Structure formats: C-alpha cells, structure tokens
Amino acid sequence: MSLLDVTGVVLNRRDVREDSRLYTIFTHERGKLEVFGRGIRKGKAKLGGHLEPGATVRVTLAQGKTGETITAVERDHYPVATMASLAHLASLGFTLSLVDAITKPEAPDPPLASFLQEAIGTLEHLDGEPDDHSRFRMWVAWHVLDRSGHSPELERCVHCRNPLEIEGVRFSALLGGFLGPECITADAAAQEVSAAVRNSIRQFVRSAWPELPAFPPERDVERTVADLTRLAMDHVLERRLPAERFVQFARTLS
C-alpha cells in the first residue's frame, strides 16, 4: 500500500454504497482526482466534515485495488461567508462545476489549481449584488476557459489565422472563435461583436479580480459578453459526453 499527500479544492462529492462517498478533488500535484471516503458517512464522520465542496484540503491517499482512498484530511481553507449566502453558493457551485466539467482526471495544472483557490478567496469577499455575481462568473468562466486552453483566440481569426481588425469581427459559436470580415462565409450564423465587447472579454481573461475596471461596461456590452460566455462554454462542454465519466466511476466501483 502506497501513501500520498495532495492539496486541492473539493469539487464534488457523491454518496456511494451505504456508507461511503466518492470525492472529486482538484489538486495542485495531480490535477483532478476521484477518491473514495470509505465508511465516511458512518464511523469517520469527522473526516467527512472537512470534505465539503469548496473547501481546500490536504488529504492523504492510500492506493487500493479499486482506487484511492482517503486516510486522513486536514482542512486549509473553508469559505465560511460563502456558505452562508445562497447567491454566493450558486457562484461557488458554478465555479466548481465548470472546473470539474472542463478538466480531465490526472492532468496536473498547477496554475488552474491556484486560480481556483484565488476565485474562492475572491468570492468570499464579494458583495452580494446580483451584478457582482454575474461579473464574477464571467471572470471565472474566461479564466478557466483560457487556462485550460479552451478560450477562443482574441487576436486572430479562427478560420484563416489573420490578425483581427477592430471593425467587422464576428463570433462563431460553431467554430469556437472570432472571424474577420474576410471569413464571414465560414459561418453564416456568426454574430457581429463590437470592439467594446472583445475588449471586455480581454479584460476578463487577463485581469485579476481587483484589476477589473471599477465601472462595468455598458449594459448591452455586458449582456453580449454574457451571451458569448455561454456560447463559448457550451462549445467546450457539449463535446464532453456526460456519461463518459460516469462509466469510469462505475468501473472503479466494481
């Protein structure tokens, strides 16, 4: 039996069998892991209390025949204020689900692990205004898409790779990127986006939360950015079969 310590954020947990749980943890050392907490809903209840989604934990794992099992937990950080607010919980859920959906198991990505902790820390100090949460989610979405290599390129045409001009640029959900005026025939459904919209997305991708402009862009710009955020996420996420991961769990359980 080999032991291993890892540190990361709990993304998800599911009850399995009568008394156990399967935890998804995004770790600095090994990326996303799925590990068992055996007997965690009964005797080791104290162990399970530390492993709530959103908590940053240090866990010790033991390799068994059917997967890795948690043998010890230390909690590094717990977002107390977030847990007390439904709006914050929804933003936390969005963040954890996105990282879970966009990453593959056992693919280390320390910058993404650090960003996840940064995002949870940011959320913990966020005001409760709906607009703040909407901006927070967009900031998270563009960072996660970008850091996981799924962000549409902002400076080049997705079709011909030419640098994008300021005017006449469209966003193609189909191609997952921006089209210059020379390539609009590549996707007739692509929608035109203003320079202000692309600039706002660029800010979301490149800025830490405190660096974002204090005054958000105009309403219609922000609404278009929200639409494009959804389209970009759909483009990435729909290519993943939801069933695929479930089959993997099922295999580790047998």
The footprint of Zn ion (CB under 5 A) covers: 157, 159-160, 162, 180, 182-183
Decide whether 40 or 190 has the Cβ nearer to Zn ion: 190
The three-state secondary structure class of 108 is coil
Decide whether 162 or 248 has the Cβ nearer to Zn ion: 162
Question: Do the Cβ atoms of 97 and 15 come closer than 8 Å?
Answer: no
Residue 47: both structure tokens together: 């162990």
Please, which contacts does 186-194 make with residues 24 or more away whose CB atoms are closer than 8 Å?
Answer: 186/159, 192/168, 193/169, 193/224, 193/228, 194/221, 194/224
Decide whether 87 or 175 has the Cβ nearer to Zn ion: 175
How far apart are the C-alpha atoms of 89 and 81, rounded to whole Å? Answer: 10
Decide whether 1 or 189 has the Cβ nearer to Zn ion: 189
In whole angstroms, the minimum distance from the beta carbon of 196 to Zn ion comes to 21
Type and span of the H or E element at 6: strand 3-16
